[in-house]
């Protein structure tokens, strides 16, 4: 009795091609993106430690978690910025004053030079005549 199973090769039939839904955002309109991907693009979260989370919303960073520590860190940073602003404003006022003084000195010297030049021209005119 011959064995038929070894004489033929086994070849299963081909199935229909599978179509997968694309995860690419290129084919979606901008209005559909937040709904399809379920993300908030205007908010950035960053974990700083186990208890602390920093969130970027409306152009500012906000710390959350342990309130007292977060508030102290933000207050310290704000105070540093305010001190720097105050120092820069004082320096700016001083530089404006120096500029104004230098311009006054230049104007005075220019006027003296012009008066001396006119006096010299008068003397030269007298000596020629």
Who has greater pLDDT, 50 or 99? Answer: 99
Comparing CA positions, the residue from 30, 59, 34, 31 lying closest to residue 44 is 59
Tokens linked to 49: 């430690």
Number of neighbours of residue 29 by Cβ within 10 angstroms: 8
Q: HSE of 31 in the Cβ direction (CA atoms, 13 Å)?
A: 0
- Report how far residue 67's alpha carbon sits from residue 75's, in angstroms, rounded to the nearest whole number: 12
Q: What is the pTM of this model?
A: 0.41
* Confidence (pLDDT) at 47: 80
Most confident of 49-53, 56-60, 75-79: 75-79
Please write the tens of the pLDDT for every residue from 62-117.
777 655 665 677 778 888 999 999 999 999 999 999 999 999 999 999 999 999 99
* Confidence (pLDDT) at 128: 87
* Confidence (pLDDT) at 23: 59
Lowest mean pLDDT among 25-34, 40-49, 120-129: 25-34
* Confidence (pLDDT) at 55: 81
* Confidence (pLDDT) at 54: 79
Please write the tens of the pLDDT for every residue from 5-26.
555 677 778 888 877 666 565 6
């Amino acid at each position: 009795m011959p064995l038929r199973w070894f004489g033929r090769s086994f070849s299963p039939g081909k199935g229909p091609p599978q179509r997968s839904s694309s995860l690419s955002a290129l084919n979606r309109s901008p209005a559909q993106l937040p709904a399809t991907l379920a993300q908030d693009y205007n908010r950035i979260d960053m974990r700083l430690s186990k208890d602390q989370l920093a969130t970027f919303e409306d152009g500012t960073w906000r710390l959350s978690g342990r309130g007292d520590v977060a508030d102290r860190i933000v207050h310290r940073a704000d105070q540093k910025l305010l001190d720097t602003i105050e120092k820069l404003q004082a320096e700016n006022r001083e530089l404006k004053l120096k500029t104004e003084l230098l311009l006054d000195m230049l104007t005075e010297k220019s006027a003296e030079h012009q008066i001396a030049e006119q006096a010299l021209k008068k003397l030269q005119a007298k000596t020629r005549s």
